Amino acid sequence: MQRLIQNLLEVSRIETGHALFNPKWESLLRLLAKVYDKYNDYIEDNGLTFDIEAAVPAGLEISADPQKVWNVFDNIIYNTVRYTQNGGITITASTEGAFAKVTVTDTGCGIGAEHMPHVFKRFYKASPARDAGDGESGLGLYIVKNVMEGCGGFVEIESEAGKGARVCLTFPARSGAE
């Protein structure tokens, strides 16, 4: 219920133009360590494995709002756990020019091709059987998209029904020496 209320408040701020984004430069490796610390027990308690593999320079920093970045990871991680029955979740990080890409891959049920054009729409649910009673509001990926864009990045999803999903978060990046 708390996640639903948080998501509704965030959507209200986004849609009224009151969502203030305050991106700051943060060490990508430090952020990934915090992600691991925050979600590892939750993921493992659900019978899944969790790995983080970062092939980035130690001083690499990303531009992200230090508060809102948790809306991004909360929504993605909770979705991956909800739709992954076996296997696990892997987060990888890499650099691409002036950007860092953080990819969350799961071994879950995936998203059907007919749903892919709609996954970032407000209140969109791939299945009408899903409801807010289980934390499903259809707001999570809408929030993820808006937060990433508000911080100068973007999000993409690759998936195929029955074959898991890959959520790619692309952040502006720089060497920590700048």
pLDDT score for 20: 73
Helices within 16-68 (DSSP H only) = 28-45
- DSSP β-bridge partners for residue 61: 27, 174
pLDDT score for 164: 94
pLDDT score for 130: 45
pLDDT score for 142: 87
Q: Which residues of the chain have pLDDT under 50?
A: 129-133
Contact 146, 12 (CB under 8 A): no
pTM score = 0.86
pLDDT score for 2: 63
In 3D space, the residue among 162, 177, 166, 22 whose CA is nearest the CA of residue 94 turns out to be 166
Which tens digit of pLDDT belongs to each residue from 96-133?
Answer: 999 999 999 999 999 999 998 998 888 777 765 444 44
- DSSP β-bridge partners for residue 26: 62
Please spell the DSSP secondary structure of 96-147, one letter per residue: ETTEEEEEEEE-S----TTTGGGTTSTT--S-TT--GGGT--S-HHHHHHHH
